Chain A
Amino acid sequence: MLNHVLPAALLSALLLAPALAGAAEEAPPLPRQEWSFDGIFGTYDRASLQRGFQVYKEVCSVCHAVKHLYFRDLADLGYSEDEVKAIAAGYQVTDPQPNDQGEMYQRPGRPSDPIPAPFPNDQAARNANNGAFPPDQSMIVKARPGGPNYVYAILTGYKDPPPGFNMLSGMNYNEYFPGHQIAMPPPLSDNAVTFADGVPASVPQMAHDVVTFLAWASEPNLDDRHRTGLKVILFLIVAVGVFYAMKRKIWAPVH
């Protein structure tokens, strides 16, 4: 059995190499937050998801799209079918098919529609933002090393540049953005949003909630995945036990 330890350790080292490599960046270490979806028993906190969606809707959606989200997906946040229909109907959506006159027209949203983007295309987005492109947010938590901790750090990491730091015009100093200069001005300020459930909207609270929402947007199936995973692992543990017993039984005369 000891024969296995050394190779297992070395194989793990090889598997871990990319993870360890990622740690060797010049940015300061990310402060680790506690997330309801951390760990093998993690799930999304629905109240936080709903607050986070509110922050996205009222603050972020001015510039950022979430192209992979559909209104019907919001049912995951705990909204009923009627509530989802109401949220969708509150948006004006361009119908994908032209009308009988051949013109594109707008109509109230339906659950089957994707959540509309603030700009019709990337160039329009750049044009409205001094040439900087506000990236789509539907995958952002999975698309950045550090995931939710990174996005939270960016949102709360704005501060004055240290003396002597050469800030380019139009840029903002951010502690955790690579290079420290980010085109996005600080999006959150205290009480920018009034939460429907009455939770006080401090910057850390809003950041925490919107990151929870964005984590869900990246990985909506996490709850299902964890639940199924637990059942599978338990089943396999039993299977390992039974197969081991069988192996020992069948091999007994040989040993």
Chain B
Amino acid sequence: MADTRPGAATRIIRWIDYRLPFLQFLNHELNEYPTPRNLNYWWNYGSLAGIMLVVMIVSGIVLATQYTPSSELAFDSVERIMRDVNYGWLVRYAHMNGASMFFAIVYIHLFRGLYYGSYKAPRELLWILGVIILLLLIATAFMGYVLPWGQMSYWAATVITNLFSAIPLIGPSIVTFLWGGFAVGDPTLHRFYALHYLLPFVIVAVVLLHLVALHRHGSNNPLGIDHKGPQDTIPFHPYYTVKDMFGLSVFLLIYAFFIFFAPNFLGEPDNYIPANPMQTPNHIVPEWYLLPYYAILRSITFPILFISSKLAGVILAFSSIFILFFLPWLDTSPVRSARFRPVYKWVFWLLVIDVVALGWVGANPPEGLVVTVGQIATFYYFVHMLILFPLIGKLERPRSLPSSIGAAVLSGGARLSGAGAPMAKP
């Protein structure tokens, strides 16, 4: 007589699931979770970012088993990893270049959101959580860069922590508190190590919240219109799992190229010189992903009212990120996706060019043309955020939206619905 009871594996799964609905949850979120059918490759970057977070944590922990966070021994312990630890060079270069990859991915992910209006209702909190992740990422990367205790590590730490001295009255005491001494030194290195180890797990927690917020209303899509029924969506698995795997393999090709053939291309040679508190490098430059903020910081060369130029630079540099929190309210457009926003569509690229220009400014010594470009680019950035976003939304005439995702896809692309068709509610 054939055994018609379910097999042992299924019974165990059911026993667990009844008490802790983990598999049920996974099944719903992966197989049943409705995802718009028209997502393009700009939607791959979220999963790539999640994967990079895991890669950085794993490589970081492996490095932590060999690294010594003391000012006397840190530099040599990193060299030991590079020379004597089995595959140490691989893990170190993976972690070092992984930081750059992580930022490239996160910036693309962010700009995708800007272009397609992913920050607009009802995804405001999703966006805000993302900005929080960006801030945590910047803090983590900054502290991580100090750990090898090279010349750039030491002097970048000195310059950036010194910024806090710009705070009126309590500034200098705050800096001494941050340093744990009268200059960046061993206590500073220790606490940066502890925090650098901690923050990624805070990032994990915020990423989980980010995903919960995402799943509440689902992904945005290139058309920026809500999905209205099963004809607009497909299950996440297998469609987007396989697309993400393809995207991942392409990304890994680029990542591997950096690790194996150009591991120091994105870095600074000066950081291979051990930290010397008595000698500043000719040019103190942060890693490329912090250059735009550095440019804004240096662009204020004159005091504003009672605010010193140093303080003004600090305020503007931090504001350049804080302002992103308010984006859902700064942008007044009733339409999400730039595909249907004829003016914003081009202005968006001005922002991109502006940020790249700021990066170029940050990389160069602040002389002559560099300063002028930096000031114009900083000015434009805040004009874009504070003036263009509200104005363009109000003044531009958006194109008519398609009636549904399914209709747009079936009609061969995201073009307009017929002339005279009523504008569908976004």
Min CB distance A67 to B, Å, is 8
How far does the alpha carbon of A229 sit from the alpha carbon of B243 in the complex, in Å? 25
Min CB distance A113 to B, Å, is 14
Residue A243 interfacial (CB < 8 Å): yes
The stretch from B65-73, B166-174, B267-275 touching chain A is B267-275
Find chain A residues with CB under 8 A from B242 CB. 243, 246-247, 250-251
Find chain A residues with CB under 8 A from B257 CB. 229, 233
- The contact string, 1 if C-beta is below 8 Å from chain A, for chain B 188-213, is 00000000000000000000000000
Cross-chain contact B108 with A11 (CB below 8 angstroms): yes
B367 closest partner in A (C-beta): A24
The stretch from A2-10, A85-93, A155-163, A184-192 touching chain B is A2-10
How far does the alpha carbon of A144 sit from the alpha carbon of B281 in the complex, in Å? 12
Q: How many residues of A contact B (CB 8 A)?
A: 47
Cross-chain contact A40 with B239 (CB below 8 angstroms): no
Residue A78 interfacial (CB < 8 Å): no
B248-265 interface (Cβ within 8 A of A): 249-250, 252-253, 256-257, 259-261, 263-265
Find chain A residues with CB under 8 A from B272 CB. 139, 142-143, 218
Min CB distance A254 to B, Å, is 6
Query: A178-B282, A229-B256, A240-B250 in contact; A14/B266 too (CB < 8 A)?
Result: no
How far does the alpha carbon of A3 sit from the alpha carbon of B288 in the complex, in Å? 24
Find chain A residues with CB under 8 A from B266 CB. 15, 18
Min CB distance B365 to A, Å, is 8
Cross-chain contact B41 with A18 (CB below 8 angstroms): no
How far does the alpha carbon of A145 sit from the alpha carbon of B246 in the complex, in Å? 37
Residue A128 interfacial (CB < 8 Å): no
Residue B355 interfacial (CB < 8 Å): yes
Residue A123 interfacial (CB < 8 Å): no
How far does the alpha carbon of A113 sit from the alpha carbon of B356 in the complex, in Å? 49
Find chain A residues with CB under 8 A from B260 CB. 225-226, 228-230, 232-233
How far does the alpha carbon of A68 sit from the alpha carbon of B260 in the complex, in Å? 22
Min CB distance A91 to B, Å, is 20
Cross-chain contact B243 with A220 (CB below 8 angstroms): no
Cross-chain contact A236 with B363 (CB below 8 angstroms): no
A1-35 interface (Cβ within 8 A of B): 3-4, 6-7, 10-11, 13-15, 17-21, 24
Residue A147 interfacial (CB < 8 Å): yes
Find chain B residues with CB under 8 A from A224 CB. 89
Cross-chain contact A21 with B364 (CB below 8 angstroms): yes
B254 closest partner in A (C-beta): A236
Cross-chain contact B288 with A15 (CB below 8 angstroms): yes
A237 closest partner in B (C-beta): B253
Residue A105 interfacial (CB < 8 Å): no
Taking residues whose C-beta sits less than 8 angstroms from the other chain, chain B's interface range is: 35 or more
CB within 8 A of B249: which of A139, A144, A240, A251?
A240
Find chain B residues with CB under 8 A from A147 CB. 269
Cross-chain contact A24 with B253 (CB below 8 angstroms): no
Find chain A residues with CB under 8 A from B104 CB. 11, 15
CB within 8 A of A142: which of B234, B264, B287?
B264
Min CB distance A207 to B, Å, is 20
Cross-chain contact B89 with A251 (CB below 8 angstroms): no
Min CB distance B35 to A, Å, is 11
A245 closest partner in B (C-beta): B246
Min CB distance B326 to A, Å, is 25
Residue A239 interfacial (CB < 8 Å): yes
How far does the alpha carbon of A221 sit from the alpha carbon of B86 in the complex, in Å? 11
- The contact string, 1 if C-beta is below 8 Å from chain A, for chain B 223-256, is 0000000000010001100110110011011001
Query: A178-B282, A240-B253 in contact; A247/B246 too (CB < 8 A)?
Result: yes
Find chain B residues with CB under 8 A from A244 CB. 246
Cross-chain contact B256 with A233 (CB below 8 angstroms): yes
CB within 8 A of B362: which of A17, A24, A218, A247?
A17
How far does the alpha carbon of A13 sit from the alpha carbon of B292 in the complex, in Å? 13
How far does the alpha carbon of A250 sit from the alpha carbon of B242 in the complex, in Å? 8
Min CB distance B351 to A, Å, is 11
Cross-chain contact A14 with B249 (CB below 8 angstroms): no
Cross-chain contact A40 with B261 (CB below 8 angstroms): yes
How far does the alpha carbon of A240 sit from the alpha carbon of B245 in the complex, in Å? 9
Find chain B residues with CB under 8 A from A40 CB. 261
Find chain A residues with CB under 8 A from B82 CB. 221
Residue A45 interfacial (CB < 8 Å): no
B267 closest partner in A (C-beta): A18
A14 closest partner in B (C-beta): B359
A198-249 interface (Cβ within 8 A of B): 218, 220-221, 224-226, 228-230, 232-233, 236-237, 239-240, 243-244, 246-247
CB within 8 A of B288: which of A18, A218, A232?
A18
How far does the alpha carbon of A15 sit from the alpha carbon of B101 in the complex, in Å? 10
Min CB distance A105 to B, Å, is 25
Find chain B residues with CB under 8 A from A17 CB. 288, 291, 356, 359-360, 362-363
Which residues of A does B touch, CB under 8 Å?
A: 3-4, 6-7, 10-11, 13-15, 17-21, 24, 40, 68, 73, 139, 142-145, 147, 178, 218, 220-221, 224-226, 228-230, 232-233, 236-237, 239-240, 243-244, 246-247, 250-251, 254
> With contacts A73-B83, A240-B250 known, what are 20 further pairs, Cβ within 8 A?
A7-B111, A7-B352, A13-B359, A17-B362, A18-B285, A18-B363, A139-B273, A143-B272, A178-B282, A224-B89, A225-B263, A230-B260, A232-B260, A236-B253, A236-B256, A237-B253, A246-B245, A247-B242, A250-B238, A251-B239
Which residues of B does A touch, CB under 8 Å?
A: 37, 40-41, 76, 79, 82-83, 89-90, 93, 100, 104, 107-108, 111, 234, 238-239, 242-243, 245-246, 249-250, 252-253, 256-257, 259-261, 263-266, 268-270, 272-273, 282-283, 285, 287-288, 291, 349, 352-353, 355-356, 359-360, 362-365
6 contacts between A and B (CB under 8 A): A13-B360, A139-B272, A139-B273, A228-B260, A233-B256, A233-B260
